[in-house]
Amino acid sequence: MARSVPEDLNSRPVAVIGGGTLGRRIALMFASQGGLVRVYDLSADVRTAAVEYVEKKLPDLVAARPGASAGRVEAVGDLPAALEDVWLVVEAVPERLDLKRSLFPDLDRLAPADAIIASNSSSYPTRMFTDDVAGKDRVLNMHFYMPPAQNAVDLMSSGHTDPAIMELLKAKLPGYGVFPFEARRESTGFIFNRVWAAVKREALAVVAEGVTTPAEFDEMFTINTGAKAGVFRMMDQVGLDVVLDIENHYAAENPHLPEGPRAVLHEYVDAGHLGLKTGRGFYDYE
């Protein structure tokens, strides 16, 4: 029996679970079509900061995009309340498999029966944390990059996802200013991120081998590619702890990957220099 896809999308909220760096950016995009977005996070400070971020950025985003209209964003500290009547749930919690395994059965149990449940995980396919989820056919990966600057989105089936849900999201997401691309088979890193991981790894390798420095590599990278920021500065923006977690996941799947890139990341992470969010990483932001 085919799953019933959600209806009346324009009148129903979107819930974002996790109000951190990416969660608040995801909430911003879904607030750009006049609807309601609820941000759930265990931390009241994070919830408040997420709402403040959206409210600050939303007017300029709406002004710059034809057809956009400002919606509302709410901070919610109660999970059942956050999920009430939503058509879409986007999980954006830290990249910890145990955390996702404990969360997704709750999302499946509490969300409306026709709601889509998506994970923003950048490294774990949803099949790895949905063993105890009854509605596997409504679960998928929906991985965002760094909106509103980087607006591509990876869609990847859980292995059970109803094709009608994939088609609905392909049609609906561009209205929020984000553009979906389907990974047509399971792929660690999805599409762009898989290639980007290799770029980061090789950039870290030339530093690990003493060939160059992070700042000099970034200068060369921006000159040759025209990019606004270099690879090391972009890793600082994401968070070096997150970058290391992702690289560890790739290494677990492929033990032949070189250790040098992870050793460089460990040097910074072990010292508490995680990038922009701590004021220091490959660059000093203080």
Q: According to CATH, what is the number of the domain 9-182?
A: 3.40.50.720
pLDDT score for 1: 47
In angstroms, the CA 138 to CA 255 distance is 33
- Compute, in degrees rounded to 10, the torsion defined by CA atoms 191, 195, 196, 202: 160
Q: What is the pTM of this model?
A: 0.85
Q: Where are the domains of the chain?
A: 9-182, 194-278
Give me the pLDDT at residue 96, please: 87
As given in the structure block, the two tokens for residue 268 are 């910074």
- 194-278 has the same fold as 9-182: no
Please count the residues of the chain.
286
Q: What pLDDT score was predicted for residue 77?
A: 97
- The fold adopted by the segment(s) 194-278 is N-(1-d-carboxylethyl)-l-norvaline Dehydrogenase; domain 2 (1.10.1040)
Which stretches does DSSP call E strand in the chain? 14-17, 36-40, 72-76, 88-91, 116-119, 139-146, 150-157, 179-182
Q: Each residue of 89-145: pLDDT tens digit? A: 999 998 889 999 999 999 999 999 999 999 999 878 999 999 999 999 999 999 999
Lateral strand order in the sheet of 36-40 = 72-76, 36-40, 14-17, 88-91, 116-119, 139-146, 150-157, 179-182
Those residues of the chain that have pLDDT short of 70 are 1-4
Q: Alpha-carbon distance 116 to 113, whole Å?
A: 9
